[in-house]
């Protein structure tokens, strides 16, 4: 009997930041490339390794030309894909887990370094509780149409009696933030189905549902584009804080925020027009995996 011995096996690591989890694949000489089907396999929680996303660890010289052109001093490119194989321009928790991987594997050292993403270079700074990432400048995606209540769209979620006003925030990737009225219990929203955003954003959107907890403190659940409900989303937490702060009239005295997500707690700082994200990140497993025949 002849067995197929041409199985393609690759190295991987598994990591998470507040339970937003990723399969990391080192591609230290540019290979392996991954097809969308291979990403879906790796992210599959039953037949594969399991993760909200898959991140290739790529030296900048092997990154796509448009990334290389703006990479500055960054030595590593975070090649991020969502669980469904689609590309996400940015992943905040992903950058923190990626930085942790680089340091644990001796690929970066020092308290500060840059990494390249499809949304440009992000500065990583080591802190007591893991890396803080400067996500850069935030932007309201549709400021021209935001009404006096601060909304530019509506979101219908399963479990919500009526469409809720929402605000679109660009964090390098698209977000739609919904502030829930105080009487509304965050846990009653059913995120097993995607919330419907109207008007429908051309490139889709991550959708955050936010409740105020106290001064500088919010709680959030998120439905991620290309994934579904996740336990945490770094760019989503940033968008949620930006929207909440903006709705409150952008007070100058509230620039440090805590964001409770199902997977833990993230820190957000607003500083000089930039948004900075912090929180724990860890690499929890390493191994090899055989990719299915294509
Ligand atoms: N979980 C991430 C965001 C990942 C990308 C997102 N699903 C998209 O398609 O934009 C984060 O921590 O920011």
pLDDT of residue 118: 98
By most ligand atoms within 8 Å of CB, the mutation choice from 97, 130, 134, 173 for ligand 1 is 173
Count of domains for the chain: 2
Beta bridge partners of 124: 113, 133
What secondary structure does DSSP assign to 114-148, as a single string?
A: EEEETTEEEEEEEETTEEEEEEEE-EETTGGG--T
Could you list the residues known to form a binding site for substrate, using ranges. 20, 82, 92-93, 173, 206, 224-225, 234-235
Integer CA distances (angstroms), 41 to 10, 25, 113, in order: 13, 13, 32
Atom of ligand 1 nearest to the CA of 87: 9
43: CA distance to ligand 1 center in Å? Answer: 14
Tell me, yes or no, whether 166 and 52 share the same domain: no
Nearest Cα residue to atom 4 of ligand 1: 91
Tell me, yes or no, whether 127 and 22 share the same domain: yes
Residues with CB under 6 A from ligand 1: 20, 53, 82, 88, 91-94, 173, 206, 224-227, 230, 233-236
82: CA distance to ligand 1 center in Å? Answer: 7
Atom of ligand 1 nearest to the CA of 222: 1
End-to-end CA distance of the chain: 22
pLDDT of residue 184: 83
5: CA distance to ligand 1 center in Å? Answer: 37
Phi, psi of 154 (to 5 degrees): -130, 155
Q: What is the mean pLDDT of each run of 10 residues along the chain (294 residues)?
A: 71 98 98 97 98 98 97 98 98 98 97 97 94 94 68 90 92 96 88 96 96 95 98 98 90 88 98 95 98 86
pLDDT of residue 165: 93
Nearest Cα residue to atom 8 of ligand 1: 88
Residue bearing tokens 């290979």: 31
Quote the ipTM score. 0.99
Q: What is the CATH number of the domain that holds 166?
A: 3.10.310.10
Residue 83: closest CA among 30, 33, 23: 23
Tell me, yes or no, whether 253 and 285 share the same domain: no
Nearest Cα residue to atom 2 of ligand 1: 91
Q: Are 89 and 173 in contact, with CB atoms under 8 Å apart?
A: yes
Tell me, yes or no, whether 107 and 174 share the same domain: no
pLDDT of residue 147: 62
Query: Does residue 17 sit within a domain?
Result: yes
Query: Does residue 273 sit within a domain?
Result: no
176: CA distance to ligand 1 center in Å? Answer: 12
Tell me, yes or no, whether 156 and 202 share the same domain: yes
Residues annotated catalytic, as ranges: 91, 233
Tell me, yes or no, whether 113 and 127 share the same domain: yes
Query: Does residue 4 sit within a domain?
Result: no
Measured on CA atoms in the order 138, 245, 258, 156, is the torsion positive or negative?
Answer: negative
Query: Does residue 23 sit within a domain?
Result: yes
Tell me, yes or no, whether 158 and 248 share the same domain: yes
Nearest Cα residue to atom 3 of ligand 1: 91
pLDDT of residue 18: 98
271: CA distance to ligand 1 center in Å? Answer: 22
Tell me, yes or no, whether 132 and 215 share the same domain: no
Distance separating alpha carbons of residues 75 and 109, to the nearest angstrom:
12
Query: Does residue 54 sit within a domain?
Result: yes
**Helices 92-104 + 234-247 axis angle, to 10:** 140
Q: Write out the residue range of the structural domain in which residue 186 sits.
A: 139-267
pLDDT of residue 253: 77
Tell me, yes or no, whether 179 and 226 share the same domain: yes
By most ligand atoms within 8 Å of CB, the mutation choice from 36, 80, 90 for ligand 1 is 90
């Amino acid at each position: 009997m002849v067995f197929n011995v041409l199985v393609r096996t690759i190295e991987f690591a598994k990591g998470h930041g507040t339970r937003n989890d990723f399969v990391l694949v080192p591609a230290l000489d540019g290979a392996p490339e991954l097809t969308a089907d291979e990403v879906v396999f790796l992210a599959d929680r039953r037949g594969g390794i399991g993760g909200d996303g898959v991140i290739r660890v790529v030296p900048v010289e092997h990154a796509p030309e448009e990334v290389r052109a703006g990479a500055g001093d960054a030595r590593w490119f975070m090649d991020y894909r969502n669980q469904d194989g689609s590309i996400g321009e940015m992943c905040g928790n992903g950058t923190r887990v990626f930085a942790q991987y680089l340091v644990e594997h001796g690929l970066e050292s020092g308290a500060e370094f840059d990494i390249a993403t499809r949304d440009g270079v992000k500065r990583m700074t080591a802190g007591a509780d893991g890396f803080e990432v400067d996500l850069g400048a935030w932007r309201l995606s549709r400021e021209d149409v935001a009404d006096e209540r601060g909304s530019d769209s509506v979101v219908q979620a399963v479990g919500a009696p009526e469409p809720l006003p929402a605000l679109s925030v660009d964090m390098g990737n698209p977000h739609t933030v919904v502030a829930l009225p105080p009487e509304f219990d965050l846990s009653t929203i059913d995120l097993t189905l995607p919330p419907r955003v109207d008007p429908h954003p051309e490139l889709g959107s991550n959708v955050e549902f936010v409740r105020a907890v106290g001064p500088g403190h919010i709680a959030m659940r998120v439905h991620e584009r290309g994934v579904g409900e996740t336990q945490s989303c770094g760019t989503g937490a940033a968008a949620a804080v930006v929207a909440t702060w903006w709705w409150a009239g952008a007070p100058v005295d509230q620039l440090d925020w805590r964001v409770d997500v199902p997977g833990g707690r993230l820190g957000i700082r607003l500083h000089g027009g930039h948004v900075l994200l912090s929180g724990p990140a860890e690499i929890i497993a390493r191994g090899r995996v055989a990719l299915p025949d294509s």
